[in-house]
């Protein structure tokens, strides 16, 4: 069938107004491959937004919930997270990037992609939507469009990203944009992906495109999320700026007329969302940040997104009041893979008693239900999600959409270990901070594949998304800071220290660590220099605990939390050294900081004659 008949007069008009032959060429190609029954082109209008919302309900991808404007979407039971094993970077034959990055021969990958795509949208409607990564009309802006047969994907992207159709008109025929082709594939009676065995994601850095097939999970189907993150990382490393897996938050110290912006990179289950949403602070973004230099040589950051595709597990009134309030109010929200009972929803850790039966990602659910592997099926999935606009939150920052971005005062790297690192420290320099970020580790939990307690290396919390050699990535971080007139301070946090199986910190103690970091940015507190970085003084923390949490903080707690555990830190450095040993292109500065930190720790052990040194002794 001719393209004009599939798209219709209005769709053709919308595409012609873009005056971009590259966009038209891409659409024609994938219409021919995928063979949809109908093609709908969407613009920035309210009419387009309403069309997609209605379509998602009409075709059964979403169902209305009891609360106004709330809907529920379910992914296939076996499609609840990113599929690392079937996600590849397309490269010419014989080329590699790094031992850490999964690649596939370009011709082999495209041959398989074309075979899977052949007719994958038969009987379905193809949707084409245009977006802007970063604030509109900004130096941060990257334009992108997505082709998909899933109305819920476009619905959620409309919540997550700023409109881009009108900005595409300003490209003047340029091919400077990303594009994503996605299909959920054949659906079963529950409207979930049927051919999970053919689930594939191909990332083409040269063409700045992603092809994602036979999946529904948002991290794989919402193309501007983690898929375009890889394209952005590639672009940033070519153009001398940073694309990072980071939140952006505004810290507002009590009694001071200022706001200090921080970015933060934390691996999963290390406190990223809860740090971005600390009480009395404001949120710019929770997941991906672009960092650039402004005209004065200062670091500025912008949120790639305008919404949140967040993990809902453990969101409860006690720990996340602002977010919980938003999720239970009549706002436009898409929930994914939670339990539904009579139009109400339930999720793990919400602080409510659960019903004995309902409907969830496994279909009809009842207490004690098992899957075909014999595993008990939870009320909702541990990776169940919600999608909403940031401006629906009471703590949305007033500069969340500022085209200039926000000035960055500090960068936080958050790891997780039970017996090694102190709760908060400041790096000794920008390059030392990059070393800390590149050495980031996360202790696996019961929710992580692998042995509980094993340490997983995750540089800058970005390992899953790297598409450039690790050495290049680290070198570009060092250079970025060296070229700044006043680089942000770099900090490290660890909220998970334990003694005899019990956490040494309460969940809300992180508010104190953040306020201390904010004070350090403005030279408000002195610090103690240790072999691994600068740590707080006891009396400053005691005062902050009283002011921020109305809580007594004892010297005994301080000593337990901030003692330097030399042998365990040296073992960590040995692990990091082995990981980077022989790594191609790892900058000499990184190895220098590793050796210097080793020497400082060994000197401290010799000087103090002990393995664990109290902060009061430094």
- Pairing outcome for strands 527-530 and 533-536: antiparallel
Domain ranges of the chain: 3-62+82-239, 243-306+400-617, 309-392
Q: Is the pLDDT at 446 greater than 80, yes or no? A: no
Between CA 67 and CA 69 the distance in angstroms is 6
pLDDT more than 90, % of the chain: 90
Task: Tell me which fold the domain 309-392 belongs to.
Answer: Phosphoenolpyruvate Carboxykinase; domain 2 (2.170.8)
CA 517 to chain centre: 22
Placement of tokens 């694309």 in the chain: 243
Between CA 165 and CA 17 the distance in angstroms is 10
Task: Report how many helices (DSSP H) and strands (DSSP E) the chain contains, helices first.
Answer: 17, 35
Between CA 201 and CA 88 the distance in angstroms is 6
* CATH topology identical between 243-306+400-617 and 309-392: no
Q: Is the pLDDT at 449 greater than 80, yes or no? A: no
Query: Based on C-alpha coordinates, what's the Rg of the chain?
Result: 25
- In tens, the pLDDT along 300-332 reads 999 999 999 999 999 999 888 899 999 999 999
Cβ atoms of 355 and 346 within 8 Å: the answer is yes
Mean pLDDT, range 346-350, rounded to an integer: 97
Mean pLDDT, range 360-374, rounded to an integer: 97
Q: Looking at residue 228, what DSSP letter applies?
A: H
- In tens, the pLDDT along 103-142 reads 999 999 999 999 999 999 999 999 999 999 999 999 999 9
- Spatial neighbors of 234 by CB under 8 A, at least 6 apart, are 205, 208, 467, 468
CATH 3.90.228.20 fits 243-306+400-617, yes or no: yes
Burial of 347 (0-12, 13-18, 19+ CB in 10 A): buried
Task: Tell me which fold the domain 3-62+82-239 belongs to.
Answer: Phosphoenolpyruvate Carboxykinase; domain 1 (3.40.449)
| Positive or negative: CA dihedral 216, 217, 219, 225 | positive
Q: Residue 2's pLDDT is what? A: 76
- In tens, the pLDDT along 244-277 reads 999 999 999 998 999 999 999 999 878 888 899 8
**For this structure, is 534 an active site residue?**
no
User: Phi first, then psi: what are they for 521, rounded to 5°?
Assistant: -60, -35
CA distances from 453 to 250, 417, 502, 503 (A): 33, 8, 15, 15
**pLDDT tier, 46 (very low <50, low <70, confident <90, very high otherwise):** very high
Q: Residue 94's pLDDT is what? A: 84
Q: Residue 447's pLDDT is what? A: 35
**pLDDT tier, 448 (very low <50, low <70, confident <90, very high otherwise):** very low
The two structure tokens encoding residue 94: 């014989």
Cβ atoms of 346 and 352 within 8 Å: the answer is yes
Q: Is the pLDDT at 453 greater than 80, yes or no? A: no
Mean pLDDT, range 468-485, rounded to an integer: 96
Mean pLDDT of the chain: 95
The pTM is what?
0.95
pLDDT more than 70, % of the chain: 98
Of 243, 270, 299, 534, the active-site residue reads 270
């Amino acid at each position: 069938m001719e393209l004009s008949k599939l798209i219709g007069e209005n769709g053709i008009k919308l595409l012609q107004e873009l005056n971009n032959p590259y966009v038209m060429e891409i659409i024609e190609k994938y219409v021919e491959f995928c063979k949809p029954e109908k093609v709908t082109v969407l613009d920035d209008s309210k009419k387009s937004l309403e069309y997609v919302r209605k379509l998602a309900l009409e075709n059964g991808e979403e169902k209305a919930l009891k609360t106004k404007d709330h809907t529920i979407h379910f992914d296939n039971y076996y499609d609840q997270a990113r599929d690392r094993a079937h996600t590849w970077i397309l490269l010419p034959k014989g080329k590699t990037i790094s031992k850490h990055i999964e690649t596939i021969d370009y011709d082999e990958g495209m041959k398989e992609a074309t075979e899977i795509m052949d007719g994958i949208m038969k009987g379905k409607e193809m949707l084409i939507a245009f977006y802007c990564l970063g604030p509109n009309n900004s130096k941060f802006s990257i334009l992108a469009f997505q082709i998909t047969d899933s109305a819920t994907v476009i619905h959620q992207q409309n919540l997550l990203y700023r409109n881009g159709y009108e900005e595409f008109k300003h490209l003047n025929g340029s091919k400077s944009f990303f594009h994503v082709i996605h299909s959920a594939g054949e659906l079963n009676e529950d409207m979930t992906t049927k051919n999970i065995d053919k689930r594939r994601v191909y990332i083409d850095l040269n063409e700045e495109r992603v092809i994602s097939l036979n999946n529904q999970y948002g991290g794989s189907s919402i193309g501007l999320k983690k898929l375009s993150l890889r394209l952005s990382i590639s672009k940033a490393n070519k153009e001398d700026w940073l694309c990072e897996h980071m939140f952006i938050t505004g810290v507002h110290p009590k009694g001071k007329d200022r706001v200090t912006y921080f970015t933060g990179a934390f691996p999963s289950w290390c406190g990223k969302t809860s740090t971005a949403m600390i009480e009395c602070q404001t949120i710019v973004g929770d997941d991906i940040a672009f960092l650039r230099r402004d005209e004065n040589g200062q670091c500025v950051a912008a949120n790639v997104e305008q919404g949140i595709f967040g993990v809902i597990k453990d969101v409860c009134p006690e720990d996340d009041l602002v977010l919980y309030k938003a999720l239970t109010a009549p706002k436009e929200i898409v929930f994914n893979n939670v339990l539904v009972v009579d139009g109400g929803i339930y999720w793990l850790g919400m602080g409510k008693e659960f019903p004995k039966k309902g409907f969830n990602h496994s279909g009809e659910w009842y207490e004690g239900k098992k899957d075909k592997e014999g595993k008990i099926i939870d009320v909702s999935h541990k990776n169940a999600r919600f999608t909403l606009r940031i401006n629906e939150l009471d703590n949305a920052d007033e500069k969340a959409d500022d085209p200039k971005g926000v000035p960055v005062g500090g960068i936080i790297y958050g790891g997780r270990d039970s017996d090694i690192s102190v709760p908060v420290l400041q790096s000794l320099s920008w390059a030392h901070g990059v070393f800390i970020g590149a050495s980031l580790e996360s202790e696996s939990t019961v929710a992580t594949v692998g042995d509980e307690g094993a340490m997983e290396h995750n540089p800058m919390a970005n390992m899953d998304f790297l598409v450039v050699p690790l050495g290049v990535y680290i070198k570009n971080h060092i250079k970025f800071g060296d070229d700044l007139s006043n680089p942000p301070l770099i900090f490290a946090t660890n909220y998970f220290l334990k003694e005899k199986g019990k956490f040494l910190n309460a969940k809300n103690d992180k508010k104190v660590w953040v306020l201390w970091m904010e004070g350090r940015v403005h030279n408000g507190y002195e610090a103690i220099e240790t072999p691994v970085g600068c740590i707080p003084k006891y009396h400053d923390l005691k005062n902050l605990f009283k002011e921020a949490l109305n809580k007594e903080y004892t010297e005994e707690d301080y000593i337990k939390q901030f003692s330097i555990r030399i042998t365990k830190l040296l073992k960590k450095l040995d692990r990091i050294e082995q990981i980077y040993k022989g790594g191609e292109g790892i900058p000499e500065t990184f190895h220098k900081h590793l050796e210097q930190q080793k020497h400082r720790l060994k000197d401290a052990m010799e000087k103090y004659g002990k393995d664990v040194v109290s902060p009061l002794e430094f």
